Amino acid sequence: MAGGSDDQDNNGDHAAREAALSARLRSLGERLGRRGRGLGAGQDSGGDAAGDNGPGDNASAIARGFRLSTELVAGVLVGAFIGWALDAWLGTRPWGMIVFLLLGFAAGVVNVMRAAGVMRGPGQAD
Amino acid sequence: MAADPISQFQVKNLVTFGEVGGHEIAFTNSALFMGITVVGVAALLLGGSARRALVPGRMQSIAELSYEFIASTIQSTAGKAGMRFFPLVFSLFMFILIANMLGMIPGGFTVTSHLIVTFCMALLVFLTVIVYGFVKNGLGFFRLFVPKGIPIFVLPLIVFIEVLSFISRPVSHSVRLFANMLAGHITLKVLASFVTMMGGLGIAGWLGAVLPLGLVVAITALEFLVAFLQAYVFAILTCIYLNDAIHPGH
Three-state secondary-structure class, residue A126: coil
More confident residue, B31 or A28: B31
Note whether residue A97 is domain-resident: yes
Q: Does residue A51 belong to any structural domain of this protein?
A: no
Mean pLDDT of all residues in A3-21 = 67
> B160, A103: Cβ pair inside 8 Å?
yes
Answer yes or no: is pLDDT of A3 > 50: no
User: Beta-carbon neighbour count of residue B144 at 10 Å?
Assistant: 22
**Residue of B66, B103, B184 whose CA lies nearest to A63:** B184
Residues A68 and A116 reside in one and the same domain: yes
Type of residue found at B154? V
Residues A25 and A73 in one domain: no
Domain shared by A73 and A104, yes or no:
yes
ipTM for the complex?
Answer: 0.77
Does residue A52 fall inside a structural domain?
no
The pLDDT assigned to B35 comes to 95
Question: Does the structure show a pLDDT above 60 at A42?
Answer: no
For residue A27, what pLDDT is reported?
83
Q: Is the pLDDT of residue B151 over 90?
A: no
Q: Which of B51, B47, B87 is nearest to B67 (CA)?
A: B87
User: A62 with A38, same domain?
Assistant: no
By Cβ distance, the residue of B77, B180, B237 closest to A41 is B77
pLDDT tens-digit map of A71-106: 999 999 999 999 999 999 998 888 999 999 999 999
A119 touches chain B (CB under 8 A): no
- Cα four-point dihedral sign B173, B176, B177, B182: positive
**Residue B148's pLDDT is what?**
79
Mean local confidence (pLDDT), B140-150: 84
Q: Which of A71, A101, A114, A120 is the mutation pick for testing B, counting most B CBs within 10 A?
A: A71
Question: Would you say residue A50 lies in a domain?
Answer: no
Q: Are residues A30 and A62 in the same domain?
A: no
Q: Given this model, what pLDDT does residue A100 score?
A: 92
Percent of chain A's residues with pLDDT above 70: 64
Tens of pLDDT, residue by residue over B58-70, are 889 999 999 999 9
Taking CB atoms and an 8 Å cutoff, what residues of chain B touch A103? 160-161, 164
Residue A63: name the closest of B240, B115, B179, B171 by CA.
Answer: B179
Q: Measure the N-to-C terminal CA separation of chain B; round to a whole number of Å.
A: 55
Question: Distance (Å, rounded) from C-alpha B74 to C-alpha A82?
Answer: 33
The reply to whether A34 falls in a domain is yes
| End-to-end Cα spacing for chain A | 52
CA–CA dist B121, B66 (Å, integer):
20
List CB contacts (< 8 A) between A61 and chain B. Answer: none
Please tell me if residue A66 touches chain B, with a CB cutoff of 8 Å: yes
Q: Does the distance separating the beta carbons of A107 and B161 come in below 8 Å?
A: yes
The total number of structural domains that make up chain A: 2
Separation between Cα atoms, residue B188 and residue B182, nearest integer Å: 10
pLDDT of residue A4: 47
Residue A74 counted as domain residue: yes
Q: What is the pLDDT confidence band of residue A12, given thresholds at 50, 70 and 90?
A: low
Which residues of chain B does A122 touch, with a Cβ-Cβ cutoff of 8 Å? 144-145, 147, 162, 165-166, 244, 248-249
Residue B165, H or E segment: helix B155-167
Band of the pLDDT at B54, cuts 50, 70, 90? confident
pLDDT, one tens digit per residue, over B108-144 is 899 999 999 999 999 999 999 999 999 998 888 888 8
Kindly state whether residues A61 and A108 are assigned to the same domain: yes
Give yes or no: residues A13 and A64 share one domain.
Answer: no
Q: Same structural domain for residues A68 and A126?
A: yes
Report strand pairing: B13-20 vs B23-28: antiparallel
Distance CA B133, CA B136 (A): 5
Q: What is the pLDDT of residue A117?
A: 81
pLDDT of residue B128: 95
Going from the C-alpha of A20 to that of each of A3, A28, A30, B89, the distances in angstroms are 19, 12, 15, 44
Residue A122 sits in the same domain as residue A95: yes
Distance CA A102, CA B56 (A): 55
Band (pLDDT 50/70/90 cuts) for residue A2 is: very low
Its domain, for residue A80, covers: 57-126
Q: Is residue A82 part of a domain?
A: yes
Q: How far apart are CA B244 and CA B142, in angstroms?
A: 11
In chain A, pLDDT over 90 holds for what percent of residues? 29
Which CA distances in Å does B91 have to A63, B38, B129?
A: 22, 9, 16
Contacts of A74 in chain B (CB under 8 A): 168-169, 171-172, 175
| Eight-class DSSP state of A121 | P
- Say which amino acid occupies B10: Q
The answer to whether residue A76 is domain-embedded is yes
- Which of B165, B179, B236 minimises the CB distance to A111? B165
**Lowest model confidence (mean pLDDT) among A23-32, B26-35, B64-73, B93-102:** A23-32
Pick the range with the lowest mean pLDDT from A48-57, A91-100, B47-56, B129-138.
Answer: A48-57
- pLDDT, residue B150, reads 81
In terms of domains, do A30 and A86 share one? no
CA dist list (Å): B210 to B63, B128, B198, B205:
39, 50, 10, 9
pLDDT at A31: 78
Please indicate, yes or no, whether residues A123 and A88 belong to a single structural domain of this protein.
yes
